[in-house]
Structure formats: structure tokens, C-alpha cells
Copies of this chain bind each other. A is one copy, B any other.
Amino acid sequence: MDRVKFLLDEEEIPKKWYNIQADLPTPLDPPVKPNGEPVTPEDLSPIFPMGLIKQEVSRERWIRIPEEVLDVYRLWRPTPLYRATRLEKALKTPAKIYYKWEGVSPPGSHKPNTAVAQAYYNMKEGVERLTTETGAGQWGSALAFGTAFFGLKCTVYMVRVSYDQKPYRRIMMQCWGAECIPSPSKRTKFGRSILEKDPDSPGSLGIAISEAIEDAVTHDNTKYSLGSVLNHVLLHQTIVGLECKKQFELADDYPDVMFGCVGGGSNFAGASFPFVADKLRGDKPDLKVVACEPKACPTLTKGPYMYDHGDAAKMTPLLMMYTLGHGFVPPPIHAGGLRYHGDAPLLSKLVKEGVIDAVAYHQTEVFKAAVTFARAEGFVVAPETAHCVKAAIDEALRCKETGEEKTIFFANSGHGHFDLAAYDAYFAGKLVDYEYPAELAKKALEKVPRVKPKVV
């Protein structure tokens, strides 16, 4: 029998994160203020600890993972690399399909890889409480989990409509000792101003971000934490790809094509960047790396590459990235984690330079692929993840036609245990495939300030 799992022992967890900033063909465009001035570390220090700010701007290739972080990673890492032999048989493809399974983490996704690290660096600098926002709760539950190990308090502003409709991840946060508050709330000035206008406001991610940042900057020993997009978040996620490289060595194989879903970009960056390094270095010029996104929010496939705010409330600096406009509100697809208007600057740059490709799908075809996967391999994946399952299956079927024995990889970033209502809608034939809302995006993009970065 062929092996189906490639495991590493806990001593084999990589001891350093990989920082792709060291290997970019040209440096990253800096984040800027609306007046075009580059953002300085001091500008960021009210909301992030210096340890993370240093990582944000570092060009060191390898950054040591603290022992205390490794000690927590060991609770679920290294995660298994699977060879999907049953899926290959079901598809009758000559291709080999591999996936890295992050669903074994207690919060059920890749998110704790950075949550644990962020909690650690904040604790080291005397921070006593972290604030953050969450939509459906995946990031909030990961940060609740991460802070539990370092004695930090955690306050999560959860979009009210999700807080009411999707209580499960909120309860998980409580299991780990975090405080989860429906947003808009009376805790913040901004929240109160919203509630005054509309006491029944369902909230939005933009409002929740604003509340979380306000809470952090107006309280002592309190900082804010972000779950994707930023360089240091992507850095922490490279633990996934670094493990993966060791596991492909065990398998005596190497991917020809890699797929991952992209919301803010940290999941796929983490899985792929250690391989992208080989491509940038010229060792693997033919490696295809493909970001998978929803047609309802096609940032990489339809958006322009330009400076834009990371959040709807314009509280963040302007980042150089693919964007549909910070005011863009995508249609309500079930893959909530892929409904972000922008994308990580590092990932965006590599797409812009042609190193990484992108593809977009409708949600019905995506769920169909996820069900094919569940029936072959057993795991029920998150709707976000299902986007790259679709891409991997399509590639395997192309190989069936051409006879190519390609090695296909996808980043299986999390389970769908809290997303089963979406599967239910799929089985009932009730999923809606939203066309690309081009007009909405056009209007949102018109409102993005045109800034020219000033040369330092």
C-alpha cells in the first residue's frame, strides 16, 4: 500500500520562520499614510508590540521561533501531509494529489499559527490584554486559544449578526477564557455612536475593527491583533510550508502545482512561500502557484494593484495591494473568510510580478468539489478551503485527459464543522452563485484616495 500520511515528530518542527522579504526581486512598496509619508515603526507602536513591528519590516531571511511558541505549536504540530490516494482513484487521474491538513489544531484551522506567536510577543512586552475583531469567529477563536497559553486577556468584537446566528465559535472563545462582545457595542465611543443612530445595527467587520482598535489605544497594556494581511502574520504561517517541504522530502516528491484559498492571504502564503523561494531562486522555474478566490469577491483576478486602506473605516495605513476598494461589500457567500476587499501586500506583489497566478470560482462548484473530497477522503472542509479543493480536482481531471502524472498540492486549511449550514444549503440546491459585482467594485474603487508615496 502507498503511504497516505507523511508525519513528522514534534522535534522536527521547523525552528525558524521563513521571511520572503529577503528574496523578493524588488523590495515591497512601504505602507503609507494618506499624505504619502511612509509609516514608521513608531506610528504602529500604539497598536502592535515592537517585536511584531520589527518582523513586519525585517528583511532577514530566517527568524527564530521562540521556544515558548514552539512549545504551544507542539500541541497539534507538525500537522500531517496527506497523499489523497482515494481521491486520485475516485477521479481516475494519473496525477498525485497531496494536501496539508491544518484542521487538527484545536480551533480547527491554520489561524492559531499566528495567534500563538502574536500572543507571545505581546506578553513579552508586558501587554496584558489583546483586542481583535471577528466575523464568523474563526480568527477570534484562534486568538482566544493563543492568548490562553500566555496568561493574556482577550476581547473579541464579533459582528452582531454572526454573534446571534453563529453562536458556536463564540462559545469556543469562552471555553478558552476570552470575552466575546457583539459589535457594535457600548464599550467604545465608535460603537455607541453607531448604536445611537441604529440600536438594531447588525454590525460589520469594519465597525468591529474600529471598536477593537479604539479599545486597544484607549486602554493601558492593551494592544490590537490582526489575523491576516500583514507581513508578520504571513511570516508566522510559513511554519506550514516549511513542514510541508520536509514532508515532501519524506514522500520523495515535489509539487508541480500548488493551490490555496486566499481571503487576506496568510493561509496560502504560509503554505506556498517556502516553495516560492525555490522558484524565485531559479531552482524550480516551472512551479505553478495558484491563489483561489471566489467570483463574488475576485480581488486578485479583477481588482487593480494600488494603494488602499486595509479596513473599511480607513483606520489602517494604505497598503500596496490588489483591492476592490475598502468600501466594497461583497455578496453574502458562505466562505466568509474570503470576503475581504484586499489581499496581503506580499502575496499581491508576487501576483503582480507573475510569480503567483490566481483563479476564481462560483460557490456551487466549490461545494460540489468539497463533497467529492469528503466522500473520497473523509474530511469535511471549510467553505474557504473548498475553493482550492475545486482547483486541485480540476487540475487532476486535466491530467486525466493529458495523461500527465503531475504532483498537485493544496493547502487544506481547516474543517467545516461550524459551516455545515452552508453544506445544507448546497444539498437543498439553495446556493446562489453571485456574478462579479463590477459596478459595486467600480464605485468602491473610485473612493480610494490616490496617494503617491513620498521618497524617504
Enumerate chain A interface residues (CB-CB to B < 8 A): 1, 3-5, 7, 9-10, 67, 71, 74-76, 86, 104, 106, 108, 145, 148-149, 167-168, 171-172, 174-177, 371, 374-375, 377-380, 417-418, 420-421, 423-424, 427
Contact = CB atoms under 8 A, between A and B. Distances in A.
Given A4-B75, A9-B7, A418-B417, A378 B171 contact: no
Contacts of A168: 417, 420
Contacts of A167: 420-421, 424
Contacts of A375: 148, 175-177
Contacts of A417: 108, 168, 417-418
B175 A374 contact: yes
Contact of A174 (B148, B172, B378, B427): B427
B7 A7 contact: yes
26 contacts: A1-B67, A3-B10, A4-B74, A7-B9, A75-B378, A76-B378, A86-B149, A104-B104, A106-B374, A106-B380, A108-B417, A148-B375, A148-B378, A149-B378, A168-B417, A168-B420, A171-B420, A171-B421, A171-B423, A172-B380, A172-B420, A174-B424, A174-B427, A175-B375, A175-B420, A175-B423
Question: Which 7 pairs of residues, A with B, have the shortest CB-CB distance?
Answer: A106-B378, A171-B420, A417-B417, A175-B374, A168-B420, A171-B424, A175-B380
B75 A377 contact: yes
A5 B1 contact: no
A233 to B, nearest CB: 20
Given A4-B10, A149-B378, A171-B424, 18 more contacts: A1-B74, A4-B74, A7-B9, A75-B86, A86-B149, A104-B104, A148-B378, A168-B420, A171-B420, A171-B423, A172-B420, A175-B371, A175-B375, A175-B420, A176-B374, A177-B375, A417-B417, A417-B418
A227 to B, nearest CB: 18
Contacts of A379: 106
A141 to B, nearest CB: 10
A174 B3 contact: no
A66 to B, nearest CB: 13
Contacts of A108: 417
Nearest to A141: B380
A427 B174 CA distance: 8
A31 to B, nearest CB: 33
B1 A71 contact: yes
Contacts of A374: 106, 175-176
A420 B74 CA distance: 25
A168 B415 CA distance: 13
Nearest to A106: B378
Contacts of A5: 10, 74
A103 B338 CA distance: 27
A167 B419 CA distance: 12
Nearest to A10: B5
Nearest to A168: B420
A49 to B, nearest CB: 23
Nearest to A146: B378
A145 B380 CA distance: 11
Contacts of A427: 171, 174
A234 to B, nearest CB: 23
A239 to B, nearest CB: 16
A403 B420 CA distance: 47
A148 to B, nearest CB: 5
Contacts of A4: 10, 74-75
A7 B13 CA distance: 14
A103 to B, nearest CB: 9
A423 B76 contact: no
A231 to B, nearest CB: 27
Given A3-B10, A175-B371, A145 B420 contact: no
